[in-house]
Amino acid sequence: MLGIRKTFPGVVALDGVDLVVGQGEVMGVLGENGAGKSTLMNILYGLYTMDEGTIEMQGKKVHIRNSADAIGMGLGMVHQAFTLVPNLTVMENIILGSEPSNMGVIDVKDARRQVTELVKQVGLDIGLDTLAEDLPTGFKQRVEILKALHRGAKILILDEPTAVLTPLEAEELFKSIRRMTKAGSTVIFITHKLKEVMAITNRITIMRRGKVVASLETKDANFDILANAMVGRQVQRKFNFGPYKPGETLLKVEDLKAASKHKTEALNGLSFAVGAGEIVGVAGVEGNGQTELVECIMGLMKPTGGTIRLKEKLINKLHTSEVLKLSVGHVPEDRALNGLILDFSIAENVVLGSTERTDFSKRGVMVPKRIRDFARKIVQSFSVSTSGIDVKARNLSGGNQQKIIVGRELAGQPHLLIAHQPTRGLDVASTEYIQSLLVDSRNAGRGVLLVSADFDEILDLSDRILVLYEGKFIGELQRGASIGELGRLLGGIAAS
């Protein structure tokens, strides 16, 4: 038997989480984004240190300070983003860091024997001399699993392993998971997909907001129990919604298709419309196509099929700057990476993309006074707390950074506002403030496309909810939809 127990009284990610996994079982850890699944696993794997709590293995208390410790104790982790070296062969990748060698020279024969044996054992068939970069995604994951096993992993943590797999590949993966557990390995399977968790696990632990909300045998579970537990609600926030009277259609997307950076299909025929005076929420767990959807609309990515129209104008092939000129505001995902230039001051950031406006520049020369007045106005009207407008964006809190971005985008009086994860990582007050700005925009007759993985936010704000799952909309809900309905859709169970 093997037991892991952790307790954290952390204010942030994990709040007294207990997890017990038995040898040879497949433990499903289910939860939405930000539930704390990954944090928990990163602690187990030695990537984060915990504030409080204990980890026990086979009854003994252990200390895991870094991933080397974790590997030494027989833990292996396969991340969502693979860490393969593209120009090395499959075998070289598997043995990297644990090469059988003789005076610095790799013992190729021995390595091949070891790896072949492993492959037989778990049934993950793969050509050992192929370069990692030439492998399809599903096979890359096999290499990762073999890599962990080659280091002697007895407990394998799989973080959203099917996110990048085709259904067929996922089926193959399940088969080898069964073989592994039969051979005595233990698997911790992290996911948000209800079907999978029902299909492969023995037991399920459901997390929400840093807490374990339920832990049960898979045979006792069903979709409704799981969905309700995964997407529990907090106190509903109150906003002043005006009457719902959607006006002219602003954005019309038809049969949109796009490929992701890994050349797999990211968007698979999306059709929807956003009208003036409504908030359309696109809900979904991250990685189901949200980023590609927003990038296609904004001209940052070329769709592979379908049409995007903005007030009847086809914008498929337009450059980002041209899209922005059509009265579109865009609050990008990851403000620090995409929204602000961190080493620019507030004053410099508020004119990002709008320096050509006639009041900000004359014949290519900027008018600092106007720009500074504008920056002050944004700081004031969006209550950004800062000592001045010359402060670098880097030195502002996340909430204040986001206020600057939203302020900048709303200042252009856009007809359509696209907000992508607008409140991610913000404190409660800032979250509420930003959300109220979106509601105000909607009441003022703007169309708002809210793309979010925060389901409270989606439920609180959206007039209509579209649920994105593996590049497709698998359902549409109206305001007032129940949590259960949303939870099922998020987990990939279409409404019957």
- Residue (259 or 366) nearer to other proteins, CB: 366
- How many alpha carbons fall within 13 Å on the CB side of residue 182? 10
CB of 98 to other proteins, least distance (A): 8
Q: Which two tokens stand for residue 292?
A: 């590609």
How many CB atoms sit inside 10 A of residue 273's CB? Answer: 16
- Residue (99 or 254) nearer to other proteins, CB: 99
Of 97, 462, 79, 66, the closest CA to residue 246 belongs to 462
CB of 223 to other proteins, least distance (A): 36
- Residue (1 or 81) nearer to other proteins, CB: 81
- Residue (356 or 427) nearer to other proteins, CB: 356
The amino acid occupying position 179 is R
Could you list the residues that contact other proteins (CB under 8 A)? 67-68, 71, 83-88, 92, 95-99, 101, 104-106, 108, 147, 298, 300, 319-324, 330, 332, 337-344, 348, 351-356, 361, 364-366, 368
- Give the pairing of strands 203-208 and 328-331: unpaired
Of 337, 341, 336, 255, the closest CA to residue 296 belongs to 255
The amino acid occupying position 495 is A
- Residue (98 or 482) nearer to other proteins, CB: 98
CB of 345 to other proteins, least distance (A): 11
- Residue (350 or 438) nearer to other proteins, CB: 350
CB of 67 to other proteins, least distance (A): 7
Reported in sequence order, the residue ranges of 87-172 that DSSP labels E, i.e. its strands, are 101-102, 105-106, 155-159
Owner of token pair 């599903």? 138
Q: What is the dihedral of CA 186, 120, 164, 71, to 10 degrees?
A: 40
CB of 321 to other proteins, least distance (A): 3
| Distances from the Cα of 47 to the Cα of 4, 81, 82, 157, angstroms | 17, 15, 16, 13
Check if the beta carbon of residue 35 is closer than 8 Å to that of residue 208.
Answer: yes
Owner of token pair 């043995």? 95
- Residue (235 or 337) nearer to other proteins, CB: 337
CB of 214 to other proteins, least distance (A): 33
CB of 330 to other proteins, least distance (A): 7
Check if the beta carbon of residue 451 is closer than 8 Å to that of residue 293.
Answer: yes
* R_g over Cα of the chain: 25
- Residue (85 or 494) nearer to other proteins, CB: 85
CB of 473 to other proteins, least distance (A): 25
